[in-house]
Amino acid sequence: MNVNIEKNDIVSCHRIGKEPTAGKPRSIIVRFFSRDLKYKIMSNKKVLKGKLDYKDIFINEDLTMLRLKMLNMVKKHDNVKSVFTRDGKINCFLRNGRKKIIENPDDLFEVGFDSVDYSALGLCDLE
């Protein structure tokens, strides 16, 4: 990844979630002292893809349940070419070349959703 991380760069680091039953280790959450280091790691995480030593290692932002559900919806939409997150915001590039930032469920309409299933997002039915 070509990113040097020193002990002083990490504010906190711990495992999250319940003990898994399938023998997989729990996820680890890391908070960095510098936002710049976080951005450097996030922008270089692609380097790990395809490397056998890292095939079961994933680097993701810690999103709220709502934003995680919206991210998964956006990833599956036909109008979306690619998607990534930065600072909890969902950034997507559309097939028409435009870029959209998703911060709330109503922004999904700008991506091309005809309707939004608010109950699937864990929100009350607002339709």
What is the tens place of the pLDDT at every residue in 11-60?
999 999 888 777 788 889 999 999 999 999 998 888 888 788 888 888 99
Interior angle at CA 81, CA 98 and CA 70, nearest 5: 90
Instruction: Give residues with Cβ within 8 angstroms of 24, minimum separation 6.
Output: none
Confidence of residue 124 (pLDDT cuts 50, 70, 90): confident
Question: How far lies 40's CA from each of 22, 47, 54, 79, in Å?
Answer: 32, 12, 18, 28
pLDDT at 47: 85
User: How far is it, in rounded angstroms, from Cα 24 to Cα 107?
Assistant: 35
Question: How far lies 116's CA from each of 33, 70, 122, in Å?
Answer: 37, 10, 12
Higher pLDDT, 52 or 104: 104
Cβ atoms of 121 and 69 closer than 8 Å = yes
pTM over 0.85: no
What the block records as the tokens of 115 is: 């309707």
What the block records as the tokens of 25 is: 């280790």
pLDDT at 6: 94
CA-wise closest residue to 65 among 1, 120, 28, 11? 120
